[in-house]
């Protein structure tokens, strides 16, 4: 009789464990995620001339690269939010104007001078992983992530979860370059080196 | 005696077999993930060209809409870190489904969510739940390099606060929105008030400009730069 009760008790425990595992698996599959409204909702597409005029009127120094990942790349779109200043410049070999899935993009935004990191701040960050490289070019602090997560589902569908991103600060503008088709930091460095003042 | 023993064994084996069958044929196979489509209605922050913003806060009235199985309804404020890579930090409340042993249960929680270089994470920072028809203040600010601090208040009572680390931590823009995953969720009664921003220092001015945005079938009642209501859906 006692042996029987033990058996039933053991079965009940196993059943409970199975049900808890089941709930855990179900909760993973219905895990909620929220989102934000994308940049198309708050920006306008402008020409290069309009963009540079805006920058000039607002005393923003804008640098753009003279060199692109290859000769086939063309600037396909510029999306601008005038206040606060945020711009995304899209380059593509296939005429893609979507900043989420294009092969090469540059994002710019104004930054509080107090928030611009120094090269030594970036070096500390780079010590955390071999995929992070800190450097300076023309006194611009630069940090390159060779394995950065991209939050756009459309991007991940096309290129996979991770991408190559460089952040750098020139005067009071924070720049970032996203280059999913390039392999590593060495491919991005010549492009950053070629950045020159437009306005 | 032998009969009781036999019955006990049959019972325990039956329980195990039933549990295994439940596991094998459980709803895992047919549970549908939350819809990837999203509907939004609310405000983008807007300002004349100047330094970037470093904080957002707003009072959000809590509604309890009917939310279909596996879908969500959230109301939140956000600091955008990068539009290009979809990096942001967000706090608010969310109606979502959880599976509790045998049954799905619709629940509501305060939450804090981040999306950055390292991926995505969402957590529910408070044991208490947001109460229907109550207004809570949600506050989020860049408090140091790589560090955002969030606060959730009811009136002057702090419900919870904490720090989340992100990489990168540059701040670009602010948003305050109602979000649903299906248009059948009716969000009448949604109300955001006293939307504030922070540049640097300790001043929290009210939003003095905004850019409205809404997806059909939701509508926006723009009551000022720092106040709006949302209705529609269903």
Q: Identify the pLDDT of residue B22.
A: 65
CATH: 1.10.1760, 2.40.50, 2.60.120, 2.60.40. Which one for B35-232? 2.60.120
pLDDT over 80 (residue B222): yes
DSSP state of B206: B
The token duo for B129 is: 């739940």
pLDDT over 90 (residue B68): yes
Q: Identify the pLDDT of residue A20.
A: 79
The token duo for A96 is: 């893609």
Q: Identify the pLDDT of residue A30.
A: 66
Q: Is residue B15 within 8 Å of B200, Cβ to Cβ?
A: no
Count Cα atoms within 13 angstroms, Cβ side, for A161: 8
Q: Is residue B232 within 8 Å of B182, Cβ to Cβ?
A: no
* B-chain residues near A174 (CB < 8 A): 170
Segments making up each domain of chain B, as ranges: 35-232
What residue of A is the nearest CA neighbor of B82? A107
Lowest mean pLDDT among A97-101, B36-40, B42-46, B136-140: B36-40
* Partner B contacted by A56 (CB < 8 A): no
* A-chain residues near B101 (CB < 8 A): 19-20, 22-23
The three-class DSSP label of residue B145 is coil
Q: Identify the pLDDT of residue B32.
A: 58
The token duo for B197 is: 């921003």
* A-chain residues near B23 (CB < 8 A): 18, 21-22
Q: Is residue A111 within 8 Å of A173, Cβ to Cβ?
A: yes
pLDDT over 90 (residue B3): no
Query: Nearest 5°: CA angle at B96, between B93 and B101?
Result: 135
Task: Provide the CA B208 distance to its chain's centre, in angstroms.
Answer: 25
DSSP state of B131: P
What residue of B is the nearest CA neighbor of A7? B12
pTM, to two decimals: 0.89
Instruction: Give the ipTM.
Output: 0.90
Report the distance separating Cα B126 and Cα A126, nearest Å: 34
* B-chain residues near A84 (CB < 8 A): 45, 47, 49-53, 172-173
pLDDT over 70 (residue B19): no
Name the residue with tokens 């380059």: A91
**Strand A74-81 versus strand A140-149 pairing type:** unpaired
Q: Is residue B151 within 8 Å of B139, Cβ to Cβ?
A: yes
Packing angle, helices A2-29 and B2-24, rounded to 10: 10
Report the distance separating Cα A185 and Cα A164, nearest Å: 8
Check A11 against B49: CB less than 8 A apart: no
What mean pLDDT comes out for the span A32-44? 92
Q: How does the average pLDDT of chain B come out, rounded? A: 89
Q: Identify the pLDDT of residue A170.
A: 95
The token duo for A94 is: 């296939």
């Amino acid at each position: 009789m006692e042996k029987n009760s033990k058996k039933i008790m053991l079965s009940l425990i196993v059943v409970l464990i199975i049900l808890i595992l089941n709930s855990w698996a179900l909760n993973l599959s219905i895990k909620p995620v929220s989102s934000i409204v994308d940049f198309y909702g708050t920006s306008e597409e402008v020409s290069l001339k309009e963009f540079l005029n805006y920058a000039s009127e607002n005393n923003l120094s804008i640098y753009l690269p003279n060199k692109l990942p290859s000769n086939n790349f063309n600037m396909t779109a510029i999306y601008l939010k005038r206040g606060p200043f945020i711009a995304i410049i899209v380059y593509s070999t296939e005429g893609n104007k979507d900043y989420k899935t294009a092969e090469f993009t540059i994002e710019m935004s104004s930054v509080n001078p107090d928030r611009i990191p120094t090269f030594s701040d970036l070096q500390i960050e780079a010590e955390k992983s071999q995929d992070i490289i800190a450097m300076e070019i023309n006194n611009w602090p630069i940090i390159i992530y060779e394995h950065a997560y991209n939050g756009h589902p459309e991007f991940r569908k096309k290129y996979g979860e991770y991408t190559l991103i460089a952040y750098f600060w020139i005067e009071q503008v924070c720049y970032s370059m996203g280059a999913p088709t390039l392999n590593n930091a060495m491919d991005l460095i010549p492009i950053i080196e070629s950045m020159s003042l437009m306005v | 005696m032998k009969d009781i023993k036999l019955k006990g064994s049959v019972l325990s084996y039956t329980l195990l077999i039933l549990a295994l069958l439940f596991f094998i044929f459980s709803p895992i196979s047919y549970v549908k993930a939350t819809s990837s489509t999203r509907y939004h209605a609310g405000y983008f922050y807007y300002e004349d060209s100047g330094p970037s913003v470093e904080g957002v806060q707003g009072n959000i009235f809590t509604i309890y809409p009917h939310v279909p199985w596996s879908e969500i309804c959230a109301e939140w404020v956000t600091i955008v870190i990068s539009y290009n890579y979809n990096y942001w930090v967000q706090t608010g409340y969310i109606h979502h489904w959880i599976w509790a042993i045998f049954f799905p249960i619709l629940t509501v929680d305060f939450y804090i969510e981040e999306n950055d270089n390292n991926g995505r994470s969402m957590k529910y920072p408070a044991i208490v739940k947001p109460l229907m028809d109550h207004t809570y203040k949600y506050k989020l600010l860049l408090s140091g390099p790589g560090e955002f601090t969030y606060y959730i208040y009811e009136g002057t009572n702090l419900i919870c606060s904490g720090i989340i680390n992100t990489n990168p931590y540059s701040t670009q823009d602010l948003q305050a929105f109602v979000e649903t995953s299906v248009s059948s969720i009716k969000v009448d009664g949604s109300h955001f008030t006293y939307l504030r921003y922070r540049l640097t220092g300790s001043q929290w001015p009210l939003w003095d400009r905004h850019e409205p945005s809404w997806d059909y079938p939701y509508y926006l009642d723009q009551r000022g730069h720092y106040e709006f209501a949302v209705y529609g859906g269903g």
